[in-house]
Amino acid sequence: MSLAKATAQVHQQIEALYRCESRRVFATLLRLLGDFQLADEALQDAFTAALKQWPLDGVPANPRAWLVSTGRFKAIDGLRRQSRFVQGIDELADQLEVDTPDFVAYADEDIEDDRLRLIFTCCHPALAEESRVALTLREICGLSTEEIASAFLSRPTTIAQRIVRAKAKIRDARIPYQIPSAAELPERINAVLQVLYLMYNEGYSASSGANITRADVSAEAIRLAELLLDLNRDSGADTEIAGLLALMLLQESRRAARTDAQGELVLMADQDRRLWNSEYIDKGVALVRRALKDGRFGPYSIQAAIAAIHAESPSAETTDWHEIVGLYDVLLRLNASPVIALNRAVALGMRDGPAVGASAVDEIYERGDLADYHLLHAARADFKRQLGQYQPAFAAYKEALGYAQQMPEIRFLEKRIAEMQAKLAK
């Protein structure tokens, strides 16, 4: 094999590592270095060093350990170079060198997984609620400010400001980088669940880009929810954690059926249910039953119960929409979100017919709650289409297209628009 080809292969391995491991490496570097900016610079320096050294020396047996160790040493070296200009920096570098071991000697699995610790730090009650979620999605998941803004239905500049303020607060208030004690957990858990929920949603339905999903992001959200459930088992907070994990697993069970061989979007009603992951469905349904039996369920458990009805239905036609509408009624009492109201409106249409659905969706549309939410316009368009109201359907699909950012959804909407044009031309 030529040197150029071998180097290219190593670079591909490093790129894959960056996608899968960079946020774990960052979390550990943050624990070791105690500063977001320093840890981020150390992460970039470590991967830059890997691009230079690994093609010559080979990929190390424990790549994550190598990256943590290299990043730490790069940070210490950088601090020493600054010591002639900034008083006290040399002492900080000395302390960092004394306090942390050489991780190259450790196996990857021996390195403490710090991402759960980082979530609790980013979700500290000293931070504003919206800042907690934005910071965690940025630092845990590696989402861009644009992607987070899409999840929040907000502006990227607003999200960027929240993240900057949150980091400054952590630094100035000396917020500890640790998992809270058992006594502190109940008051801290809701913000963490919200983060994992949004994190999973970004992985299950990417806010923008060429692909409809980001499997690495959703898989990490599931893994962290499992860790959180283990941490909180029998704590009183475990019911909603179980509900959220169930919701993730039930949604994830449909991943293989959500796109066709060409990567085009397949609506749930048209999906081949034989492709659904039965193992995830069984685990999810068991967790739902546990949560509902417990009686301390909340919004995540109710959403999981709705997902379980879909998962256990042998076909779209046999789906129990009466039960689903009833569950949405309960969910709206727990969380009067306009998105949940939209989902209930769609369920009403499935239960009572497109005229009822169209009326319910139009009511939300007229309130202006979700003016820039493409799924509102798409739902409105679809009910109009079913009613044979092709001109309003065409206009609503055009509105949806104007807000969609995901290429498979854009192509799907373009097809619907072409269908409406053909109907109108007759």
Q: What pLDDT digit, counting tens, does each position of 21-35 carry?
A: 898 899 888 888 888
Which position has the higher pLDDT, 207 or 421?
421
Q: What pLDDT digit, counting tens, does each position of 226-246 carry?
A: 988 887 766 566 888 999 999
Cα dihedral across residues 254, 258, 260, 261: positive or negative: negative
Q: What pLDDT digit, counting tens, does each position of 66-79 carry?
A: 999 889 888 888 77
Q: What pLDDT digit, counting tens, does each position of 366-392 carry?
A: 999 899 999 999 999 999 999 999 999
Q: How far is CA 400 from CA 175, 254, 344, 387, in A?
A: 42, 24, 19, 18
Q: What pLDDT digit, counting tens, does each position of 297-338 carry?
A: 899 999 999 999 999 999 999 999 999 999 999 999 999 999
Confidence (pLDDT) at 211: 53
The answer to whether residue 186 scores a pLDDT higher than 50 is: yes
- Ranges 14-23, 96-105, 160-169: which has the least confidence: 96-105
pLDDT category of residue 1 using cuts at 50, 70 and 90? low
Taking the C-alpha atoms of residue 141 and residue 182, their distance in angstroms, rounded to an integer, is 25
Confidence (pLDDT) at 107: 47
Confidence (pLDDT) at 110: 45
Taking the C-alpha atoms of residue 50 and residue 28, their distance in angstroms, rounded to an integer, is 17
What is the dihedral angle through the alpha carbons of 165, 166, 169, 171, rounded to the nearest 10 degrees?
-110
Domains of the chain: 3-112 (no CATH), 337-426 (1.25.40.10)
For the segment 118-129, the average pLDDT, to the nearest whole number, is 86
Label residue 322 left, alpha or beta by phi (over 0 means left) and psi (-120 to 50 means alpha): alpha
Confidence (pLDDT) at 349: 97
Say if CB 252 and CB 287 are below 8 A apart.
no
Closest among 156, 243, 157 to 197, alpha carbons compared: 243
The answer to whether residue 111 scores a pLDDT higher than 80 is: no
Confidence (pLDDT) at 379: 97
Predicted TM-score (pTM) of the model is: 0.77
Say if CB 348 and CB 325 are below 8 A apart.
yes
